[in-house]
Structure formats: structure tokens, C-alpha cells
Amino acid sequence: MNSAVLKKTMYWFVVPALTMYLVFWIYPILRLFQYSFSDYNGFIQNFNYIGFDNFSQIFKDGVAGTSLSNTLIYTLVFVVFSNLIALGLAFLLNMKIRATGLYRTAAYVPTLFSAIVVGFIWSYVYMPDSGLIATVLSWFGVDGASLNLLGNYSSALYAITAVDVWKHIGTSTVIFLAGLQTVPVDLEEAGRIDGASSWQVTRFIRLPLLATSMTINVTLSLINGLKAFDYSFIMTNGGPGRATSTLLFEIFRMAFREMQYGKASALAVVSFIVIIAITIFFVLRLNRREVSA
């Protein structure tokens, strides 16, 4: 379709956005690769190229391995739980009952808070002794003082992931709800007339038609999980030890606290490759599974 409306001069409209994107996003990403082969420390501009030293160092001292596995666990837990809980909530809120608007609001409100506020409030929830969980447990005679979820090696990572899940559920629920509302009522009724149980209607009619919202939610949560930084920074400072140190937190710590820009850039390059590979893999697979109504 060749319309007179379409002219090549239209491409001038891309220039402002493209310029900013190239200067402040793409160019810095390329520089990252350059720094990763150098001993740059952020101050002395004539730095040396040291080959793959940064890479071998971050792998040898275990920083890359630890932060990579922390990030992957975080992402897996985050994607699975935020989507399952949101899906359940969306089914509940999609029922023909009153006050769903109020319920939806209650589900959505946590997403409005800044990560920093959320981090502070949840630090209280997790505090040993006088925190929310510890106090409730003490009512049931369990000694909450020894339960230090954020201070414990084995639980800290899951504790901060739970906070992110909590903040993210509202968004996913709203997207699932919108998807559910596009499921044609007559399709559900046709299913019931054919004798399908409500579980079968859900499984064979609603879930397949939710594929688009599922793709969006899984993709968004995947990207969000791989970007994990906030709660390691606000709540645990990467600790105890390196238990909650995600890739991005580790990059930040190396660059701005230890002034090792070269090493931090090498870790950033590793993260870049991992993040791109995982995202492309999942997006391609998910897109293939979609069905339309």
C-alpha cells in the first residue's frame, strides 16, 4: 500500500529520540566493552588495556559466579511467584461479585510506592524481635528473636525477592484481569453447555486465551527480575556476606565503593550477555505459544 501520505521525510521525526538514545544509551553500552578490558579507575584518563584480566579475576574470586547465581535464583522465584499469585488474584477478582473495584485497588496500591519506601517498610516487617513477623510469631509462642530473615545466609535472598514480588503483584494482576475480560462470554458458555466443569473452562478456554497477557507478564517480570538491585541496596547492602549481592548490585559496589571501574565493567559485560541471552530465549519461546481468540 503506497499512500501519498508516506514520505521518507517522515523519518526526521525519529531524530530527537534516536539522538538521545544513541548518545546516552547505546554509546555508553559500547564504552562498557572498552572499559572492561582496561584498568580504568574513574579518575586517571590514560588507562591501560589489560586484556582479559578483569574477566579472569571476577571469575577467579567468585564474585561473578555468586552474583550470577543470586540473580538467577532471584529471577526464577520472582517470575514464578509473582505470576502465579497474580493469576490467582485475577481469577478471584474476575468473579461476578460486588466491590471488585475496591479489591483491585487494594491489590494495586503497593505498586505506587517508591522502592525505597517499600524497602524501609519491609525492613520493619522482617526485623527480629520487634518486627511484624517476629511479633506475630511470638503470639503463637514461637521465639521470633532468633528469626532474622534478612541476616541469615540461606533466607536473605528469598526475603528480598518476596518484597519485590509483593510490589509487583498489582501490576501483573491488572494485566491478567484485562486479559480475562477479553475472554468472550459466549465461548465460556458454549464450554459449559458442552458439559465442561468450571475447572475445565478455566484450563481449556480461559488459560489459552490468556496467553498474550501471560507473555507480557512473564516478559516484564523476567526483565524486572534480572534487573534486581533495589532491595539489595536498600535492605541488605548485598549482605550478609554476598548472599544478596545481585549482578547489578555487585557492579554498583565495585564501581562506586571500590572504584574498580574496569572490573565493574567486565562484570557488566558478563551481565549484559547473560541478560540478553535469557531474554531473547524466553521471548522467542513465549511468542511461539500464543493463541488468539
Partner 1 sequence: MNGGIAKKTLTHIGISFVLLLNILPLLIALSSSFRSVSNMTNPLQLFSEFSLESYRVAFDKMHFMQALGNSLMLTVISVVVVVLFTSMAAYPIARINNRLSKALYLFFLCGLVVPSQMVIIPIVQTIQGLHIPSSQFTPILMFITCSIPFSSFLYTGFIKSSIPIEVEESALIDGAGLMRRFWQIVFPLLLPVTVSVVITQGVWIWNDYFFNMIFISRAAESPLPLAMLGFMGDQTNPTAWNVLFAACFLCALPLLIMFAFLQKYFIGGLTVGSVKG
Which residues 196-225 are close enough to bind partner 1 by CB under 8 A? Answer: 212-213, 216, 223
| Residue 57 touching partner 1 (CB under 8 A) | no
| Residue 192 touching partner 1 (CB under 8 A) | no
Q: With the CA atoms of 145, 242, 219 and 271 taken in that order, what torsion angle do they form, in degrees rounded to the nearest 10?
A: 170
| Residue 273 touching partner 1 (CB under 8 A) | no
> If you ran DSSP here, which 8-state letter would residue 48 be given?
P
Angle at which helices 27-36 and 261-289 pack, to 10 degrees?
A: 130
**What would the x/- binding string for partner 1 be over residues 143 to 172, using CB under 8 A?**
-----------------------x--x-x-
Count of CB atoms within 10 A of residue 83's CB? 23
Q: Determine the interface stretch with partner 1 among 51-59, 74-82, 193-201, 226-234 (rule: CB under 8 A).
A: 226-234
Cis, peptide link before residue 240, omega less than 30° from 0: yes
| Residue 187 touching partner 1 (CB under 8 A) | no
CB of 292 to partner 1, least distance (A): 9
**How many CA atoms lie less than 13 Å away from 192 in the CB half-sphere?**
8
Name which position in 39, 94, 104, 137 contacts partner 1 (CB under 8 A): 104
Please report which helix (H) or strand (E) contains residue 183, including its range. none
Closest CB to partner 1 among residues 98, 194: 98
Closest CB to partner 1 among residues 66, 123: 123
| Residue owning grid cell 590514560 | 46
